[in-house]
Every structure is written in structure tokens, then in C-alpha cells.
Amino acid sequence: MTYVVTVDICIPEGTPELDPLQRAGAVALVEDGLDAVRAVEGPDGAQVDVLDTIVAVHPGGALLKVVVDAPALEFAEGSVQVLVDELLERTEVLADWAIERCEVELHQDLARESLAAADGPDAPPDDLALRRARHTAGAPSAQNPGEGVDGAATKARAVRARMLELAAELRAFPPAVFGVEADDDRRAVPAESARLAAGALVHATDTLVDELFEDVQVLAQEDATVAECEGPLWHLERLPDRYALQYDARFGRRFLVTVIALTTRFTDGSFQHLSCVAEELALRFLLNEATTTLELHDLLDDHVSRALANLADALCVDTDHDRVHHPAALLPFTSWFTRFTEDSYAHPSTTDEPEAAPQ
């Protein structure tokens, strides 16, 4: 069975954050170490094959996504943890780094197989977006039509509390950016609405990263571009249609790393400005993900919508759907990962120029 293992590794506590040169070096070391391994021996001699890896280094460490084929979930998690442990131990400059989290996620294909086997009135819908909405909102069952309403309300309260708690993690943006104490009444929002908007962005980050990773895996498995892909995609098919033949797995990996690098700067407080077209698109996806989650839980009122709009305005991002897909609104595809200015941040994994695309 195929599993996706997410691993967070962090630098030693109390040490300075990694500068851009150190991050570039760490990416190379981790990627080279993982690329050199094709299989790992799991418990009882079981073989665990390493199918794919994605590495994104940030100032406080790195996020790894490791796709493995293993006999069981426990073998997948244990083998990847051993693999990363050994990689850190044998790499002198990473020897003091530590694994903070190592979790297994079912690969999308297995989830679809399980869902396809389900039957009856409570079987989930085939459409991925509808399925996520149903799962998140707590749809009522046929036997207990009122049960889902109470469950959805309870979950909405829990999600609201969680988002308000997460708001503090969005260190790059003070409340004023969301419109708290704004002089213009058309922009002003209550402090709690600003916190809810901030927390929704943090909450949406994990979902967006996981779903983009699934998109990359679908493209890699089919060896196809978005235009050619037959499998379901969460986000990449919503990029401008003009370049759909250019969105392959390699592009998807670069875009995913861009999202991780951008949101890491949001949460560690180092964000200064958007660095490239890819980051503009990534922010649109993040705002859309946050808005969708808030809507699903009936938490998107006028004040919260205004808070998100104020942030988009502050970052000079047009969130209008039609403009996102209008070719005139974008620089050429070959420039999507090119830094706007000399001091713009660029993750080392995204700096290689993509192949030429038709203009």
C-alpha cells in the first residue's frame, strides 16, 4: 500500500534561524540523502520502497513529504522515521536537528478505493470537493436527519475556537492589517473578526499544502500535465488555462514549495512582501481555502470577509476570479518564479528556470 509520511525536522532549540545560504545548503543535503535511498528495511525484514520525496526548508527547520510503498501503516511511519534519523545522524551539519513530527497519511488512491467500496444512503459522494464539504460540515445521516445539524453547530464552535487560538501564529500581520481600528469605516473590523480571519489562514495552510501534495502525486503517477490529467485535482487545475500543458509534476513540486515557503514566512514573522507571480497565485489559493472553510462552518460574516479583503488589499493582490484566469493579468509563465526585486525571497528549490512556454 502507498502512504504519504509527513516529517517535521527542526533546528536545535536556542540556535539562530537559518539564513538563505544555510537553507540552500540544507535543502541540498536532505534531498541528496533521501534521493540516495530507494528502499528501507522495516520491522521483521519487511521492505519499504521510497517512491517520491519533497523537501522544503524554512528558517526553523524543514518539512518533508515522503511517499512509500509499505505492507502496513506502522511500517511506513517507522521506516521513514528511521530513514530520517539516520540521515540526520550521518550528516554532520544536521546532526543536532531533531524530528518534531512524523505522521502517516493515506494516499489519495487508497482513500478513493475505500470510498468506491462504500454503498448505501450514507456513502460519500465521488466528487472530492463535495466529499470534503460533507465531511467538514457534518452532513446528517438518513436515519437521524437532525443529528448532522447539531453536529455541524458543535463542530463550528470548535473550529471557531481553534481558529481564534491559531491567530497568534500568523506573526507577520498585526491586527491593523486586517482593519482593526481603521479610520475608514468601510475597512474597519472588530478585533475578534480579525483574529478569526488570521486563524482561518493558518488553519487553511495545512489543508492547502496536503491537497497540493496530492495534486503533485496524481500528476506524477499519470506522468501527465493538468491539461492531460484524468484523475481528480484539488487546486492546480484552477490555475490559468493558458498554460495548462505546462503544469506537470515538476511544476507542481515547485509551486508546492512556494506555498510552504510563503506560509512559513507568514508564521515566523519574516514576511516582507510577495516575491514572485507564483507567490501571488499561492496567496489567492490560501485566501480561497480560508474563505471556503469559514463558509462551510457558517463563520464567514461581513466583518470576517472584510478582514480578509483588507489583507489582500494590503498585499496588493487582486482576488477577483476572472482576473486570475485572464492572461493579461499575469507575467509570462517563464517568469512565474522569477523574483520581483533583488531582496525578494526565493526558496532554493524554485530558482531553476522552467522550460520555455508559448507566449
- pLDDT tens by residue, 58-91: 778 888 888 888 888 888 888 999 999 999 999 9
Residue tagged 497565485 (cell numbers): 281
> Mean pLDDT over all residues of the chain?
80
Percent of the chain whose pLDDT exceeds 90 = 35
R_g of the chain, CA atoms, integer Å: 21
User: Rounded mean pLDDT of 96-103?
Assistant: 90
**CA 110 to CA 47: how far, in whole Å?**
19
Pairing state between β 61-69 and 2-10 = antiparallel
- pLDDT at site 31: 87
- pLDDT at site 21: 78
Least confident of 10-19, 145-154, 223-232: 145-154
**CA 352 to CA 358: how far, in whole Å?**
18
Tell me the residue type at 161: A
- pLDDT at site 348: 66
- pLDDT at site 153: 77
Read off the C-alpha cell for 90. 550521518
User: Rounded mean pLDDT of 274-299?
Assistant: 91
The length of the chain in residues reads: 359
Residues with Cβ within 8 Å of residue 263, at least 6 apart in sequence: 205, 208, 209, 286
Residue, of 61 and 346, whose pLDDT is higher: 61
Query: Does pLDDT of 328 surpass 60?
Result: no
- pLDDT at site 342: 77
Question: pTM of the entire structure?
Answer: 0.66
- With cut-offs at 50, 70 and 90, classify the pLDDT of residue 42: low
Angle at 26 between CA 22 and CA 32, to 5 degrees: 145
**CA 322 to CA 319: how far, in whole Å?**
9
- Identify the CA nearest to 213 among candidates 233, 231, 239: 233
Tell me the residue type at 21: L
Angle at 274 between CA 270 and CA 278, to 5 degrees: 125
Please state the φ and ψ torsions of residue 59, each to the nearest 5 degrees: -55, -25
Give the tens place of pLDDT for each residue, 209-261. 988 988 998 999 899 999 999 888 889 998 988 889 999 999 999 999 899 88
Residues with Cβ within 8 Å of residue 60, at least 6 apart in sequence: 10, 11, 17, 18, 264, 268
